[in-house]
Structure 1
Amino acid sequence: MGKTIGIDLGTTNSCVAVVEGGAAVIIPNSQGERTTPSVVAFTDNGERLVGQVALRQAITNPKGTITSIKREMGTNYRVKAEGRNFNPAEISAIILGKLKKDAESYLGEDVTEAVITVPAYFSDAQRQATKDAGTIAGLNVKRIINEPTAAALAYGVDKEEAKKVLVFDLGGGTFDVSILDIKDGVIEVIATAGDNHLGGDDFDECITTELIDTFSRQYRVNIRNQEITMRRIREAARKAKEELSFTATTQINLPYLTEIKGEQVHLEYTLDRAKFDRLTSALVEKTQKPVLQAMEDAHVTKDDIGKVILVGGSTRIPAVQNKIQLLTGKEGFKGINPDECVAMGAALQGGVMGGEITGLLLLDVTPLSLGIETVGGMCTKVIERNTTIPISKSQVFTTAASFQPQVEIKVLQGERAKAADNKLLGKFKLKGIQKAMAGVPQIEVTFNIDANGIVNVSARDQKTGKAQEITIESSENMSQAEIEKAMEDARRYAGEDENIRSMSETRNRLNTLILQANEMQKQLSKTDKAKGKEAKKDLARPIKDAAKALKGKNTTLDELNRCAMKLEQVMGRYQK
């Protein structure tokens, strides 16, 4: 039996791990990096790029580059490429396929089994879409587990005394908070809350908006419809956010950002942490309600919480850390890497299932209540939120009208009293029920939630024995035929020509070098006019040759590399 890998399929970055010698280790990707950007790109020449290579060309290919697809899981969002529409599960499968391939290179064997993590607050449709993505990528998804729970496993909670742990998970696109009870190697989730549309992307957008507004006021121009310009601004915003986690001030410089009336204009902006905190204060405040909700549901106070574990890159933001301390009275634990711990926990769960790790038991919960629509358009709950899974629970209902030949079961997920205010997961009809006066038939409705948090609902007339059931699949999820077709496509692209990939990487590198060379000329002219004039003269030919090579349809990889080397050599003389 082969290894089971653990995958953190993230909004911004993804990570894969495996158990070796009883411990979880991170698997580096083909570039030697421990995380892989969750970015997919479709190029004009028909190739698919994944990870860092896709991210590098994002500025020059904004329409064909897809980021943060995790935020669209379980929806009817579509990406148009290669003459057809891709759903979020298919795009996610391309990322998973890359992680699978990297794992196989590292382990030297085929990998077919995986444990994949999802935000604790993911709905049934989102979990099913994640499982579909794994299937398309050629993986047997043995378990879907919640990210905060995986982080607790990685933290090594089984090695400490009994305590309650709060996991604060703020990633690129989602936010979860979970309260766990730890004792005797049993990790039991007792409450979870969150927001599936709160994360680092939103902090980036605050900086992006500030930069656009500043630029628009200065030049009286709207640049929001300029895709390449916007991609550069968003990338600069992300880098500025990351830098402000470690420094008090950051400089944002975007040379040759756009052209106005035939003249190239630049964006220069100084952003300090105080201004960043003001821009993002509303986002930090949004983390408060889920924390308090989870604590209330778990019946705990600040004093009951033994430790706070930080998960997700966005927990590095100082204002977020201050908020955590204010809400919990505890400083967040920083002894584990917030970018890697979820994948490590998923690998450990795979090790538990495969028998490599013993003495650990994971008890997770369903994040939202489940029920059916009853008379008056009300939602009657059958399983309350924060119920430990897997679980099976039944409740008996009856008819609202006399002599009904059938009943329609509408399955709902949510906390609202009115059915219309909750999410409709699916519906089915139970026919052939006992014809009797209203209130006489006894219809038993049973909800089964498996260890992945995926729901199956059945209904049975206790008198006639007639029964019907449904495994919840929203209209946005994929049929088996669609999954098989997507798997075929994934296999077809698995053998993609590496020369094409190298061409794309080198072209992106050359584009970046041209931008850097132009910026170097500008900076040198400010500090030393004579040296700036000399640099401009020396760089003119290499820049021209590089631009010509990039435009050429038949340019070879060797020609691109020669242009890049020449640019680097000339720039190197002025960097000393």
Structure 2
Amino acid sequence: MSDSVYGIDLGTTYSAIARINDLGQAEVLLNFDSNPTTPSVVYFEGDNNAVVGAEAKRVQLSDPDNACSLIKRYMGTAYPQEFRGQEYTPESISALILKELVKTANSELGEEVSKVVITVPAYFGIQEKESTKQAGQIAGLEVVGIVTEPVAAALSLGIRGEQPETILVYDLGGGTFDTTIMRAEAGRVEVIAIDGNKTLGGADWDEALAQLIADKFVAQAGLGDENPRLDAEFEIELLSQAEDTKKSLTKRENATVRCRFQDKDEQIAVTRAEFEAATKHLVAQTLEISQRVVAAAEAKAPGLKVDRVLLVGGSSKMPMIDMALREQLGWSPANTDFDLAVAKGAAIYGQAAVDEVLSTDGADVPVAADAEEKYFLGGSKTLNVTNVLSRALGVRFQRKESDDLYISFLLHANDTIPATPDPIRAGTVVDNQTSVAIALYEQGGERESENPNDNDLLQEKTLPIPSLPKGSPIDITLVVTAEGLARVTAYDPTGGQTIDVEAQVSVLSEEEVAQATVQVSGISLRS
């Protein structure tokens, strides 16, 4: 191989790292605990040292104020966290997890690999994707690509068939839920439609189960109106036990949890049926999203028929998921390498990228006639991945008849990318106008809304123009790359002025990324 690269599944609750081995197979590398997945938890021991993984998760029980988990849910947002007097961004905390994963992998292999591909939920928007890339940069890594988790799963599971097939990936992870419909065959994946919820995942099942256990404990211990969950130590222990109990109820019909609060010490019995009743509303949300993505795919490709439904993500192991898909939607889901498929697929994507046989714009990669067929690409010589936009993108305008502002969407969710829609012509709104504000927005909710408050402002810049009369033309052009990053160009044909408004932005500036890189490089890590 020309170079080595790691594929990293940077998960909300657990992460994994994989590579293509000497046999041309994707394999997940074990951590220092000999486990294939590492808890996405960071514990700050002191000013300059931190623990990542299982040990951090254990210590979190006794010292929750100096530990951080579920940070992925805050990627792309201003969510600073303070530990031991120092402030950390979501990108910096994610960088510590990435750094430890790579350090462990390099130690196992005796290599110094710094190139990585990092996965993101399909429903992540522009800012979340860019923040994930920045986390890799802060960790001192070369991020050669960002790939969505369902596409990565399909690469590891669905590109070896002799015939093209349409796959639906149901991906229920620790903190996010995605559904993706794609066509897949050896060396080629074409995404048709995606949908999801970036704040719905196994952690929500944990919370519902924790509340169920707490309610039963309060009743059994005779606590009356007292709420033990207000006690930090009880709460952290309860959430840890809830996750373990969830795993037990995946394999058994009942489980017992020990709860201690003040002078109370009780054994709480919980059944799988009770757990399923307490979380049926969460399952219903995933079914609604799954039906929605099928409808979107059918609208885009009339006559489409799903050939296979693949369950991905550790939380998809719960029997209630398989049962609901079969009984309520009539599907026959297939089990997969639940926790590991995404990391393996990221390694496949990454190796194709560094071997320069990857295309993400729909064009075929030129290769020599005697080029090697690659096992990890299903026997293909190249890999072609085409994706879709996760959320609509639009520009803010003002109505002629009023001062009302509204968003006009130039590209819509599930439009194929890369894309350059036809330019649109707008006009100045007052006489003697000398500047134009160009604001790029991303769809904020499940459906498009013209109301600017319902959407997320990505970037705004001002285009200076010569003094023009009302209604003078301004041409607006939008370009979206294969990774879903966007750029708007505004052109004043009268004065010949142009301004680019790039949405390749995150919460952190370049200077803040540099500062975070220094901060993270000075922290000693262990797992």
Name the TM-score, length of structure 1 as normaliser.
0.81
SS in 1 for 2:170: strand
Aligned to 1:519: none
Amino acid at match of 2:223: Y
* Runs of 4+, deviation exceeding 3 Å: 300-303
Amino acid at match of 1:402: D
1:59·1:232 contact (CA, 8 Å) conserved in 2?
yes
Contiguous gaps of at least 5 residues in structure 2: 356-373, 399-403
Query: Are 1:426 and 2:429 matched, yes or no?
Result: no
SS in 1 for 2:468: coil
Query: Are 1:304 and 2:305 matched, yes or no?
Result: yes
Q: Deviations over 1:140-194 (max 9, x none)?
A: 1111111001100010324341111100001011000000012463210010000
Worse-matched range after superposition: 316-325 or 129-138: 316-325
Amino acid at match of 1:344: K
1:373-392 matched pairs, under 5 angstroms: 373-375=396-398, 376-392=404-420
Q: Deviations over 1:489-516 (max 9, x none)?
A: 222224x5x7xx7xxxxxxxxxxxxxxx
Q: Deviations over 1:531-560 (max 9, x none)?
A: xxxxxxxxxxxxxxxxxxxxxxxxxxxxxx
SS in 2 for 1:349: helix
Query: Are 1:471 and 2:502 matched, yes or no?
Result: yes
Aligned to 2:266: 267
Cα distance in 2 for residues equivalent to 1:78 and 1:258: 32
Cα distance in 1 for residues equivalent to 2:223 and 2:305: 55
Aligned to 1:222: 227
1:434·1:461 contact (CA, 8 Å) conserved in 2?
no
Aligned to 2:243: 238
2:137·2:143 contact (CA, 8 Å) conserved in 1?
yes
Q: Deviations over 1:88-111 (max 9, x none)?
A: 111100000011101211332222
- Give 1:396 shift: 2.1
Aligned to 1:491: 521
Worse-matched range after superposition: 300-309 or 269-278: 300-309
Cα distance in 2 for residues equivalent to 1:236 and 1:295: 36
Query: Are 1:341 and 2:344 matched, yes or no?
Result: no
Assess, with a 3 A threshold, how the Cα gap between structure 1 residues 85 and 143 changes in structure 2: closer, same or farther. same
Cα distance in 2 for residues equivalent to 1:152 and 1:242: 25
2:170·2:311 contact (CA, 8 Å) conserved in 1?
yes
Aligned to 2:5: 4
1:6·1:345 contact (CA, 8 Å) conserved in 2?
yes
2:18·2:28 contact (CA, 8 Å) conserved in 1?
yes
2:388·2:415 contact (CA, 8 Å) conserved in 1?
yes
Seq. identity, %? 32
Assess, with a 3 A threshold, how the Cα gap between structure 1 residues 301 and 169 changes in structure 2: closer, same or farther. farther
Q: Deviations over 1:241-287 (max 9, x none)?
A: 11111111111123xx232xxxx321321111111111001101111
Q: What is the count of residue pairs matched by the alignment?
A: 487
1:447-458 matched pairs, under 5 angstroms: 447-458=478-489
Indicate the structure whose relative CO is greater, using CA pairs within 8 Å and at least 6 residues apart: 2
Cα distance in 1 for residues equivalent to 2:383 and 2:329: 27
Amino acid at match of 1:288: L
Worse-matched range after superposition: 325-334 or 309-318: 325-334
SS in 2 for 1:198: coil
Amino acid at match of 1:410: A
Assess, with a 3 A threshold, how the Cα gap between structure 1 residues 37 and 186 changes in structure 2: closer, same or farther. same
Cα distance in 2 for residues equivalent to 1:437 and 1:282: 53
- Give 1:327 shift: 5.3
1:248 alignment partner, one of 241, 253, 259: 253
Query: Are 1:258 and 2:261 matched, yes or no?
Result: yes
Query: Are 1:412 and 2:441 matched, yes or no?
Result: yes
Aligned to 1:54: 56
Cα distance in 2 for residues equivalent to 1:426 and 1:71: 21
Cα distance in 2 for residues equivalent to 1:419 and 1:213: 41
Cα distance in 2 for residues equivalent to 1:142 and 1:177: 25
Cα distance in 1 for residues equivalent to 2:514 and 2:87: 16
SS in 1 for 2:51: strand
1:173-212 matched pairs, under 5 angstroms: 173-183=175-185, 185-212=187-214
Instruction: Give the superposed CA RMSD.
Output: 2.0
- Give 1:310 shift: 0.8
1:158·1:360 contact (CA, 8 Å) conserved in 2?
no
SS in 2 for 1:304: coil
Aligned to 1:401: 430
2:297·2:304 contact (CA, 8 Å) conserved in 1?
no
SS in 1 for 2:64: coil
Assess, with a 3 A threshold, how the Cα gap between structure 1 residues 301 and 436 changes in structure 2: closer, same or farther. closer
Cα distance in 2 for residues equivalent to 1:147 and 1:184: 18
Cα distance in 2 for residues equivalent to 1:392 and 1:380: 15
Worse-matched range after superposition: 73-82 or 464-473: 464-473
Cα distance in 1 for residues equivalent to 2:24 and 2:328: 36
Query: Are 1:169 and 2:171 matched, yes or no?
Result: yes
- Give 1:46 shift: 5.3
SS in 1 for 2:190: strand
Cα distance in 2 for residues equivalent to 1:209 and 1:319: 19
SS in 1 for 2:450: coil
